[in-house]
């Protein structure tokens, strides 16, 4: 049974896409949320959207850049000052970066993507794990990607960072299971969020919707995933119902990884 009454959950990238969808699902089950994002406006929009579905939800927002360790420290401290504990952490903020062949992939672009997707996830884990170890409980879900478990092409920075997220997840899961803390990763395939819409527009301009259809024609389910489908998975993984799941990397991709 999934129950979030009195549970405190931090979500990075909470201003959009998968972060917002997970927040919505957790709020609907009574969870108290701290949403973190570098985009203040989208955080406000998330809060509004969540309150429209769950009128008595508790939603705090913190503007922070996950690549800055000091700002990471601050959102963790804010959560402790406000709620006194952290039950769950959806460590999810990420960017895709420009697509290019490896030899043409910009080094600055590589560093930028790795800095958000991998360093940001590491900084968050570091701070949150210290708290969870002291508490003797907690769950973390890191957002990897299909691109973190197999090659997708033209995405050196993204693939390196997401493979890194898988490594970090398994490494820390082995360390912290003994303290009652579970750590897993999700590996989404193509989910229709602003990130994916943006990259389709970058590739195909005004024809992005047709390009999207073509893109998912190779998926066994012939469609994009919906953010709420990922949100529901995260809500399950961060709940007490999933306590014995640890060090797992769970694809949510319509079966595309196994085709
Ligand atoms: P999105 O662009 O809709 O949301 C990402 C959010 O992260 C945005 O609100 C953005 O402002 C925030 N963010 C970016 N950089 C940040 C930083 N440095 N500090 C704080 N916040 C920052 O994208 P999404 O599709 O919801 O992606 C969420 C996660 O899921 C990412 O890690 C992405 O790589 C991963 N993912 C997405 C898909 C997909 O198909 N949508 C597939 C696999 C993995």
Q: Is residue 121 part of a domain?
A: yes
What's the CA-to-centroid distance between 178 and ligand 1, angstroms? 30
Residues 6+ apart with CB under 8 A from 129: 138, 140, 172, 176, 181
Residues 192-225: pLDDT tens digits? 999 999 999 988 999 999 999 999 999 999 999 9
Q: What is the residue with the minimal CA distance to atom 10 of ligand 1?
A: 13
- The domain of 183 spans 8-189+225-254
From the CB of 251, is ligand 1 less than 6 Å away?
no
Distance CA 27, CA 22 (A): 8
Report pLDDT digits (tens) over 126-146.
Answer: 999 999 999 999 999 999 999
Write down the ipTM of this complex: 0.99
Q: Does residue 194 sit within a domain?
A: no
* Cα–Cα distance list, 36 to 18, 101, 173, 174 (Å): 13, 32, 23, 27
Per-residue pLDDT averaged across 150-157, rounded?
Answer: 95
Nearest residue (CA) to ligand 1, atom 26: 17
Do the domain assignments include residue 204?
A: no
92 belongs to a structural domain: yes
**Average pLDDT of every residue of the chain:** 97
The confidence score (pLDDT) of residue 250 equals: 98
Is any ligand 1 atom within 6 A of the Cβ of residue 39?
yes
- Structural domain tally of the chain? 1
pTM exceeds 0.90, yes or no: yes
Please identify, by atom number, the ligand 1 atom nearest to the C-alpha of residue 21.
26
CATH classification of the domain holding 153: 3.40.50.720
| Any domain includes 57 | yes
pLDDT tens digits for 15-44? 999 999 999 999 999 999 999 999 999 999
Asked if the structure places residue 87 within a domain, the reply is: yes
Cite the active site residues: 158
Q: Is residue 193 within 6 Å of ligand 1 at its C-beta? A: yes
- Residue entry with tokens 């991998």: 118
Rg (C-alpha) for the chain, rounded Å, is: 17
Ligand 1 within 6 A of CB of 16: yes
Share of the chain above pLDDT 90, in %: 98
The answer as to whether 64 is a domain residue is yes
- Whether residue 94 is contained in a domain is answered as yes
Please tell me the distance between residue 250's alpha carbon and the centre of ligand 1 in angstroms: 17
Give tens-digit pLDDT for 84-128.
999 999 999 999 999 999 999 999 999 999 999 999 999 999 999
pLDDT-based confidence at 1, cuts 50/70/90?
confident
Per-residue pLDDT, 222: 98
Contact partners, residue 134, CB within 8 Å, separation at least 6:
none
- φ/ψ (deg, to 5) at 253: -150, 15
Tell me, using a 6 A CB cutoff, whether residue 188 lines ligand 1.
Answer: yes
Return d(Cα 130, Cα 151) in angstroms, integer: 33
Give the number of the atom of ligand 1 that is nearest the alpha carbon of residue 14: 9
Tell me, what's the pLDDT at 102? 98
Specify the residue with its C-alpha closest to ligand 1, atom 39.
191
Minimal-distance CA residue to ligand 1 atom 24: 17
pLDDT of 259 = 84
């Amino acid at each position: 049974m999934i129950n979030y009454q009195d549970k405190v959950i931090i979500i990075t990238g909470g201003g959009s896409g998968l972060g917002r969808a997970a927040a919505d699902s957790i709020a609907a089950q009574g969870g108290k949320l701290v949403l973190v994002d570098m985009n203040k406006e989208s955080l406000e929009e998330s809060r509004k959207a969540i309150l429209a579905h769950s009128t008595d939800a508790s939603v705090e927002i913190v503007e922070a850049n996950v690549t800055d360790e000091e700002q990471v420290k601050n959102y963790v401290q804010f959560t402790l000052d406000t709620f006194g504990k952290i039950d769950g952490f959806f460590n999810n903020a990420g960017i895709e970066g420009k697509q290019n062949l490896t030899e043409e992939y910009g080094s600055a672009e590589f560093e930028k993507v790795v800095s958000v997707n991998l360093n940001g996830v590491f900084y968050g884990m570091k701070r949150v794990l210290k708290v969870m170890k002291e508490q003797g409980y907690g769950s973390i879900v890191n957002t990897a990607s299909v691109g973190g478990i197999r090659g997708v092409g033209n995405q050196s920075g993204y693939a390196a960072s997401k493979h890194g997220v898988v490594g970090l997840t398994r490494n820390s899961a082995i360390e912290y299971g003994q303290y009652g803390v579970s750590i897993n990763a999700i590996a989404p395939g193509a989910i229709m969020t602003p990130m994916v819409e943006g990259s389709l527009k970058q590739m195909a301009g005004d024809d992005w919707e047709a390009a999207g259809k073509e893109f998912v024609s190779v998926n066994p389910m012939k469609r994009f995933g919906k953010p709420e489908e990922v949100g529901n998975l995260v809500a399950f993984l961060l709940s007490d119902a999933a306590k014995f799941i640890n060090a797992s990397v769970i694809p949510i991709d319509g079966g595309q990884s196994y085709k």
